[in-house]
Amino acid sequence: MFLVLIIVTVTIIAIIVNKGVKGIEKKEVRHSYLIIIGFLIQIAIFNERFASSSFSKFTPFLYIVSLLILLVFLITNFNYNGIKITLIGFILNLIVIIANGGYMPQDLAKLNIAGLGEKAKLLQESEHFYNAILMSENTYLNFLGDIIVIPQLKPIGSVYSIGDIFIIIGICVFIFEFFKREIV
């Protein structure tokens, strides 16, 4: 929710600052269908119906596949500075997710601070669900896991990783870069 709010806000500001959308006329985003495919896989696997099905054992594998599809999109659009920043965060997240068998370690205390007590409870009961795993001494690279919380964002916030912060900054830079008018 927070990321969507940021994207919408930054897009509106970019349109105002650049006096419209003329800047996108000559900009190219290659293989944008990969974003749709990657996120459709995630939508399919990160829901209660899939989680309670016999296919749920494939969640970590399918999650990594979706991330690799998104990685291809980022690499093919490396000409944008915002994508370069996003790629740094994406790779940091991918490393920790792969190191933990397809799951992102999440800190229970930080989830509670963010107002996500129900998620913390589910995670504590099952040790992992969807793309999250209970952060412990048995998880790897915990410093790259979901450990950053902004308590002031409680109603819309979450717990973020260092990679997420790079991704958010990169997306913001990309939006401004994409809407920027080229001076001829």
Is residue 174 included in any domain, yes or no?
Answer: yes
The pLDDT assigned to 127 comes to 79
Instruction: Give the bridge partners for 106, in sequence order.
Output: 134, 146
CB contact at 8 A, 153 and 113? no
Is residue 6 included in any domain, yes or no?
Answer: no
Is residue 8 included in any domain, yes or no?
Answer: no
Overall domain count for the chain: 1
pLDDT in tens, 73-109: 999 999 999 999 999 999 999 999 999 999 999 999 9
Is residue 117 included in any domain, yes or no?
Answer: yes
CB contact at 8 A, 103 and 146? no
The pLDDT assigned to 160 comes to 93
Q: Is 11 helix (H, G, I), strand (E, B) or coil?
A: helix
Write the CA distances from 93 to 13, 22, 99, 135, integer angstroms: 28, 34, 10, 14
pLDDT in tens, 127-158: 788 889 999 999 999 999 999 998 777 777 78
pTM for the model stands at: 0.90
Is residue 43 included in any domain, yes or no?
Answer: yes
The pLDDT assigned to 41 comes to 97
pLDDT higher at 119 or 152:
119
Name the token pair of 47. Answer: 């829901």
- Domain with 73, as residue range(s), is 19-179
Average pLDDT, the chain: 91
Is residue 4 included in any domain, yes or no?
Answer: no
Write the CA distances from 155 to 5, 47, 105, 111, integer angstroms: 12, 21, 22, 12
